[in-house]
Amino acid sequence: MHFRIAILFVMAGFLCQAQDMIPLPQQYEKNEGQLKVPGEVSVSASDEFAELIPGFIESARKFDVRVKERRKKGFIRLVRNSELTEAEEYRLHVGRKAIVVEAGAAPGCFYGLQSALQLIRNAGKGGWIACAEINDRPRYAWRGVMLDESRYFLGMDEVKTLLDLMAFQKLNKFHWHLTDVPGWRIEIKQYPLLATVGGKGNQSDPNAPVGYYTQAEIKEIVDYAGKRFIEVIPEIDMPGHATSAVRAYPEFSGGGSEKYPDFTFNPGKDGTYGFLTNVLKEVKDLFPSRYIHIGGDEVHFGNKQWKDLPEVKKLMQEQGLNSLVELERYFLNRMADSIQSMGKTVIGWDEVVAAGLSGSNTVAMWWRHDKPDLLKEALRKGYEVILTPRIPFYFDFVQHETHMQGRLWPGGIYVPIEAVYQFTDTVFTAENPEWAGQVKGIQANMWTDRIHSREGTQYLLYPRLSALAETAWTNENRKDKDDFLSRMEPMMTVYKKKGLYFFDYRNPSGTPEVK
Q: How far is CA 337 from CA 287, 356, 358, 382, in A?
A: 19, 12, 9, 19
The residues, ordered by sequence, that sit 6+ positions from 57 with a Cβ below 8 Å of its Cβ are 43, 67, 68, 69
Percent of all residues in the chain with a pLDDT value above 70, rounded to a whole number: 96
pLDDT digits (tens, 9 = 90+) for 410-469: 999 999 999 999 999 887 877 888 899 999 999 999 999 988 899 999 999 999 999 999
pLDDT score at 429: 79
pLDDT score at 359: 87
Mean pLDDT confidence for 483-487: 95
> How far apart are the C-alpha atoms of 375 and 359, rounded to whole Å?
13
Mean pLDDT confidence for 194-213: 96
pLDDT score at 9: 39
> How far apart are the C-alpha atoms of 294 and 352, rounded to whole Å?
10
Mean pLDDT confidence for 481-490: 96
Report which of residues 514 and 23 the model is more confident about.
23
Pairing of the two strands 173-177 and 231-238: parallel
| Helix, strand or coil, per DSSP, at residue 395 | coil
Pick the CATH number of 142-510 from 3.20.20.80, 3.40.50.300, 3.40.250.10, 3.40.1280.10: 3.20.20.80
- Domain borders along the chain are 2-136, 142-510
Mean pLDDT confidence for 268-275: 97
The mean predicted confidence, pLDDT, of the chain is 94
C-alpha closest to that of 291 among 213, 355, 234: 234
Residue 85 has pLDDT above 80, yes or no: yes
Q: What superfamily does domain 2-136 belong to in CATH?
A: Chitobiase/beta-hexosaminidase domain 2-like (3.30.379.10)
Residue 13 has pLDDT above 80, yes or no: no
pLDDT level of residue 7 (50, 70, 90 thresholds): very low
Residue 358: Cβ within 10 Å count = 15
Percent of all residues in the chain with a pLDDT value above 90, rounded to a whole number: 90
What HEC string does 308-324 produce? HCHHHHHHHHHHCCCCH
Residue 87: Cβ within 10 Å count = 16
pLDDT score at 14: 53
> How far apart are the C-alpha atoms of 483 and 471, rounded to whole Å?
13
Catalytic (active-site) positions: 180, 241, 298
Residue 4 has pLDDT above 70, yes or no: no
pLDDT digits (tens, 9 = 90+) for 109-126: 999 999 999 999 999 999
pLDDT score at 18: 64
| Helix, strand or coil, per DSSP, at residue 214 | coil
pLDDT digits (tens, 9 = 90+) for 326-363: 999 999 999 999 999 999 999 999 999 999 898 889 99
- The per-type count for the chain, helices as H runs and strands as E runs, is 18, 16
Predicted TM-score (pTM) of the model is 0.95
Evaluate whether 2-136 and 142-510 have a shared fold.
Answer: no
C-alpha closest to that of 359 among 348, 370, 372: 348
> How far apart are the C-alpha atoms of 277 and 294, rounded to whole Å?
12
Q: How far is CA 508 from CA 13, 124, 481, in A?
A: 25, 28, 18
pLDDT score at 495: 97
Residue 10 has pLDDT above 50, yes or no: no
